[in-house]
Amino acid sequence: MLIGVPKEIKIHESRVGLTPAAVRELAANGHRVMVQKLAGAQIDLSDDKYQMAGAMMVDTPQEIYAKAELIVKVKEPQPSEIPWLREEQMLFTYLHLAPDPLQTKGLMESGCIAIAYETVTDHFGGLPLLAPMSEVAGRMAIQAGAHALELDQGGRGMLLGGVSGVPAARVVVIGGGVVGTNAARIAMGVEAHVTVLDKSIHRLQQLDSQYGSKINTVFSTVDALEEHVSTADLVIGAVLVPGGAAPKLVSRELVSRMNRGAVLVDVAIDQGGCFATSRPTTLADPIFIQDGVVHYCVSNMPGAVARTSTFALNNATLPFVLALANKGCRNALLDDPHLRNGLNVYRGRITYEAVAQALGLSCTPALEALAPV
């Protein structure tokens, strides 16, 4: 199979879909890989390294989209890229379609087969291709939040861990999944006062058992959210509805009651955000202030540490890329229900229920879409 890796063009996005090691693995399995020149240059993955691994280097993304049977990316195709997609071409990347009707419409009209990293599942009920970036984003959320708390960023002028005789900052993490756990872990590491809210008693018990007195676990209700968010110095939004839009758990009214200079970091912004006041920002201009509260809502946070993120992502995606290349699209999707859960758009039809519901569109079950005509 001919596999294409275009250079990412989303603002401040330096990750790349395949590393040279992944290219070599695909070549060893008899596949050809086209990589756009300078695709990995910013993270020290030079064109020479790709060529040594067996890749064909090409000048333009148009050549990749015109020839490749499978496109492997990191971020969703940007408006300028969508017209290059063609019927029955496979696209394997993060899509986050629920809050993005324009991208969804473009993918449907292209006739391509779009498989989303964020909805592929595993035997343990997890999201293995989302987890590495969730781990990165969770850890970065505290780093970003600590910076935003500084006075010259509009924050309260607080050090997360405090110092002798001065209380630590109050960090509230909404959601105890991969993002939330990693955020809490880093916040505890700098000796902040950490509270995690979640609706799963089992998950709260796990966190309590793992971290003991270093963490406060609270069952999430409207009352609990209001009580803890209103007095927090830093709030991390780490909720997830797989493939669907994030619920708006923090209202505008609640934001207006927070302390001046408190910070909200919305890691769920890719799925629409979990704070009513959130709007997507970029790594170039990451924060804005609403009602005296600093908002950090970068939609590709792991892109700030692109080298770490690229290698972590490739470790997770490569087995699925190999399956698609070795078996072909239809057989790979039929053979593996977990990869099939990643199918979001198939030749003009939405095949993921949460996306269809979020956008008010009809859904064709994946197995039905894949059935012989």
**96 flagged as catalytic:** yes
Exactly one of 198, 233, 270, 336 is catalytic; name it. Answer: 270
Nearest-angstrom CA–CA distance, 156 and 297 = 18
Exactly one of 31, 96, 193, 295 is catalytic; name it. Answer: 96
Among residues 216, 211, 208, the alpha carbon closest in space to that of 232 is found at: 216
Residue with tokens 């596949």: 31
CB atoms within 10 A of CB 352: 27
Nearest-angstrom CA–CA distance, 105 and 109 = 6
Strand partners, 194: 171, 215
Alpha helices in 170-235 (DSSP H): 178-189, 201-211, 222-230
CB atoms within 10 A of CB 209: 9
Question: How far does CA 259 lie from the centroid of its chain?
Answer: 29
Q: How many CA atoms lie within 13 A of 210 on its CB side?
A: 13
Q: Are 311 and 290 in contact (CB under 8 A)?
A: no
DSSP characters for 91-159? EEE----TT-HHHHHHHHHHT-EEEEGGG---TTS--TTTHHHHHHHHHHHHHHHHHHTSGGGTS----
Residue with tokens 């997507």: 280
Residues in the chain: 373
Residue with tokens 């792991």: 302
Residues 6+ apart with CB under 8 A from 166: 159
Catalytic residue list: 96, 270
